[in-house]
Each structure stands twice: as C-alpha cells, then as structure tokens.
C-alpha cells in the first residue's frame, strides 16, 4: 500500500525529538502514512559513529518510515528554514526543556505566530511546569518515582525495574493518542493547540488498578513476584520441564483446575471456597497447586487447561515469543529495505484497521542523519543555489 493511501497521509509532521519517548509517538504517525521529517542538528564530530548508531536495531525500529534533514536551529538562517517548514506542517513534536524551547523558537506561542493551525506536541520527564519541570527524566528514574518498581519483583529481589523502557514507550503512546485527538479537534474547529504529557503522568496513569487501590482506599500495593496482587490462583508454577503461567481465579475455573490437576478435593475445600478466602490463603494454595503442576510437562498443562477455559501459557524468551506460531501468523515482524544493511526485520504497529491492511514491508528504513536534506529542502521550495549556500555556511548538512 502506498503511504498516500493511509489514514494520516495528508499530514506533515516535524520530528525534533531525541531519545525514545518522543520518537515512539512520531513512529505511530509515520506508520500510518504521515509525512515525517526528522530534524536533527548537524553532525560536528565523528560522523561514522553517529551513522553506526543510526543503523543499529534500536534506531531502525524507532525511525522507520521517516526522512532526515540536518539543520542548525541555533543559527538565524536555520530558524528561518524551520519556520518555512512550520508554515507547511501540521504537527511539531519535541522534547526540549522549556528554556531551550523558547530559545530555539519552538514554544507554542512562537509557533502559532507562524502557523495558527499548528499542533505542538511536547513530552518531558516530569511535566511542563511544577517543581521538577527542569529535572532530566529517564525511564528507570521514572520507574522508581512512579511506584512501579515497588510492585515489581518480590521481597528477595527488592524493587525491580521492568525489562523494557516502559515509561518511555507508554508516554510516547499517550502523546501519539493526544496528537490524534488534537488533529480530530482541528478537523472540526480549524484550531491548533499544544498537546503535552510526561513520563511521570504516563506512569502514574499506567499503574491503573494498582494506583486506584491507593487513591480510593489508601492501600499501598506491595511486591507479589509472579503472582497477581489481588487474584488467586494466578501466577507462575513449576512443571516437570519449566514454568507456566496459570490464571484460574473464578470459582468455576478454580474447580476445573483442581479436577484437571487430579486433586478435585481442593475445589470444595472450605479454605479456598471463595475468591477472598483463596486470596487470604494464597501461599498455602499456591504450594498445593505447584505440587500438582510438577506432575505434568508444560505442554501437557497448556493443552489440558486452555480447552477448559483456564488460561495457561508458556514463559518464553524474546526469540521464542517471535517464533511462536501465533506471532508468526500475525506477521509482527515486517521487513524494511536499507541501502547498506539490506533487508532488515522490524516490529510492526500492533494496530489493525480493516480498511488499511498492513503493508508487506515498511516504506523505508530508518534514515542516516541528513540523508534527505537536499530532497526535503527542494520539496520546501528552495533552489539548488540556495541549498548549496546554506550547506557551505553549515546551516544544513
């Protein structure tokens, strides 16, 4: 499918983000057809190391379907070029500190003087104002400050980070949703606006029911390892040959689980006769269940429990997860053609739209810094002489 046929194909996005959270938001727009121009500073040091980084798996997965221009925003000429772009753009995405935004001419008040329909989308560690607004915000710092690490792991491990950059990716997804809401509002009213979120806001929201346990009841959740914090039995249990996850928290599922494990007497045991009692006696119950799951292989448990309506699944490593028959059927890995790396496999958008089937491959791989500078400048109306003069001045690269 050509990018012009996709739902966001009429929109142009200027991507001035660094790190991960902002690029995740922009990736959502790029994957669904938006014309994304990634604006990066001129490379002033060893270009080889920068390019090598850009060609790595992380950068390629973040920046596929985007194009890149190197532009010196600190120079007056660079600022004028940026404003030329802003006049023709729909969305500007950035993650600068407030004072840097102002200095570079990227605050919402400054941008709407150039284009009153522009949508400015900003992402930060702690928010655009407040006592921590100038603090640097990184994923693990926010995992700790949001309370997430306090409910991850168990007593033996102590507070534990999740194995992915969850605050970066979560805030990026929320910002992407905010951009789509702002575009929808502009379609109705013709008005632009400032959309922003932060890693802290996103992670406090992501706590979901663990957060509301505190906000409603002042209950502070604790670590429960691989077991669900409020439902039982639900967790990881040893089999003959490894570990499986089993979730049988309702009365019906619990009774069926006991039957399938060959211990039906526990299904009518008074200690486990209700969800509250199973929760109160969860340590004893978990030990009983594991004593019986050890009599089966993981495959035997998966094959026996799922047809009975009891969720049960393996615990994979990353490779096994992508090679699982269902993941392969869903075609979560999509190729992209890179001029140097060749055909590379990247993870596609998880959103499925019946009117817009996923492409067989990405439109293009992640760009090198400034790979499309001359092409983009020409599209924006600059002639070859102007482009060469600005290159000589170091305004573009």
Residue 168 bears catalytic tag: yes
Nearest in space to 17 (alpha carbons), one of 134, 101, 85: 101
User: What average pLDDT does the chain have?
Assistant: 95
Q: pLDDT digits over 229-280, tens only?
A: 999 999 999 999 999 999 999 999 999 999 999 999 999 999 999 999 999 9
Whether 98 and 75 map to the same domain: the answer is yes
Query: How many domains is the chain partitioned into structurally?
Result: 2
Residue 227 is assigned to a structural domain of this protein = no
User: Which pLDDT value is given to residue 102?
Assistant: 92
Supply φ then ψ for residue 381, to 5 degrees. Answer: 100, 5
Percent of the chain beyond pLDDT 90? 95
User: Which pLDDT value is given to residue 53?
Assistant: 87
Residue 228 is assigned to a structural domain of this protein = no
User: Which pLDDT value is given to residue 46?
Assistant: 46
Whether 243 and 305 map to the same domain: the answer is yes
CB 119 within 8 A of CB 14: no
Q: pLDDT digits over 48-57, tens only?
A: 555 568 899 9
Residue 104, token pair as written in the block: 């570079």
Catalytic residue among 168, 241, 259, 303: 168
Whether 133 and 175 map to the same domain: the answer is yes
Domain end (from 260, 282, 314): 314
Give residue 358's domain range.
3-206+329-393
Domain end (from 314, 338, 366): 314
Whether 276 and 360 map to the same domain: the answer is no
> What is the mean pLDDT of the segment spanning 171-183?
98
User: Which pLDDT value is given to residue 98?
Assistant: 87
Q: pLDDT digits over 295-336, tens only?
A: 999 999 999 999 999 999 999 999 999 999 999 999 999 999
Residue 319 is assigned to a structural domain of this protein = no
CATH number for 250 = 3.30.1540.10
Q: pLDDT digits over 46-92, tens only?
A: 455 555 688 999 999 999 999 999 999 999 999 999 999 999 999 99
Q: Of all helices (H) and strands (E), which one includes residue 236?
A: strand 234-238
Q: pLDDT digits over 121-164, tens only?
A: 999 999 999 999 999 999 999 999 999 999 999 999 999 999 99
Residue 57 is assigned to a structural domain of this protein = yes
Residues 6+ apart with CB under 8 A from 66: 15, 26, 27, 30, 36, 37, 38, 366, 367
Residue 225 is assigned to a structural domain of this protein = no
pTM of the complete model beyond 0.85 = yes
Whether 336 and 197 map to the same domain: the answer is yes
CATH number for 95 = 3.40.50.10540
Whether 343 and 308 map to the same domain: the answer is no
Domain end (from 264, 284, 314): 314
Whether 291 and 161 map to the same domain: the answer is no
Residues 6+ apart with CB under 8 A from 140: 161
User: Which pLDDT value is given to residue 43?
Assistant: 83
Q: pLDDT digits over 340-373, tens only?
A: 999 999 999 999 999 999 999 999 999 999 999 9
Q: How far apart are CA 207 and CA 199, in angstroms?
A: 12
């Amino acid at each position: 499918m050509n990018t012009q046929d996709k739902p966001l194909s009429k929109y142009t996005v200027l991507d001035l983000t660094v790190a991960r959270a902002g690029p995740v938001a922009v990736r959502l727009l790029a994957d669904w057809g938006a014309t994304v121009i990634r604006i990066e500073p001129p490379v002033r040091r060893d270009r080889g190391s920068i390019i090598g980084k850009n060609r790595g798996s992380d950068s390629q997965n973040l920046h596929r379907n985007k194009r890149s221009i190197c532009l010196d925003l600190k120079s007056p000429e660079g600022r004028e070029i940026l404003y030329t772009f802003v006049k023709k753009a729909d969305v500007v995405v950035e993650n600068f500190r407030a004072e840097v935004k102002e200095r570079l001419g990227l605050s919402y008040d400054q941008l709407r003087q150039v284009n009153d329909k522009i949508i400015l989308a900003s992402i930060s560690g702690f928010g655009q104002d407040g006592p921590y607004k100038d603090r640097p915000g990184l994923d693990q710092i926010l995992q700790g400050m949001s309370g997430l690490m306090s409910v991850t792991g168990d007593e033996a491990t102590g507070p534990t980070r999740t194995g992915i950059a969850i605050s970066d990716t979560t805030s990026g997804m929320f910002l992407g949703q905010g951009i789509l809401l702002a575009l929808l509002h502009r379609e109705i009213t013709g008005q632009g606006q400032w959309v922003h979120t932060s890693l802290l806001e996103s992670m406090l929201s992501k706590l979901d029911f663990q957060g509301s346990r505190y906000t409603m009841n002042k209950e502070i959740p604790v670590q429960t390892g691989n077991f669900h914090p409020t439902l039982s039995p639900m967790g990881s249990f040893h089999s003959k040959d490894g570990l499986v996850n089993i979730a049988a928290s309702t009365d019906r599922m619990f009774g069926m689980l006991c039957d399938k494990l060959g211990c039906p007497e526990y299904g009518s045991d008074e200690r486990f006769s209700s969800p509250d009692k199973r929760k109160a006696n969860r340590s004893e119950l978990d030990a009983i269940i594991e004593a019986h799951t050890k009599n089966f292989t993981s495959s035997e448990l998966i094959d026996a429990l799922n047809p009975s309506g009891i969720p049960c699944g393996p615990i994979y490593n990353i490779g096994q997860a992508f090679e699982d028959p269902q993941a392969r059927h869903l075609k979560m890995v999509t190729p992209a053609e890179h001029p140097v790396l060749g055909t590379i496999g990247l993870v596609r958008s998880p959103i499925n739209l019946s009117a817009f089937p996923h492409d067989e491959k990405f439109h293009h791989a992640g760009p090198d810094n400034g790979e499309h500078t001359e092409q983009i400048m020409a599209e924006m109306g600059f002639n070859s002489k102007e482009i060469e003069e600005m290159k000589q001045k170091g305004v573009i690269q």
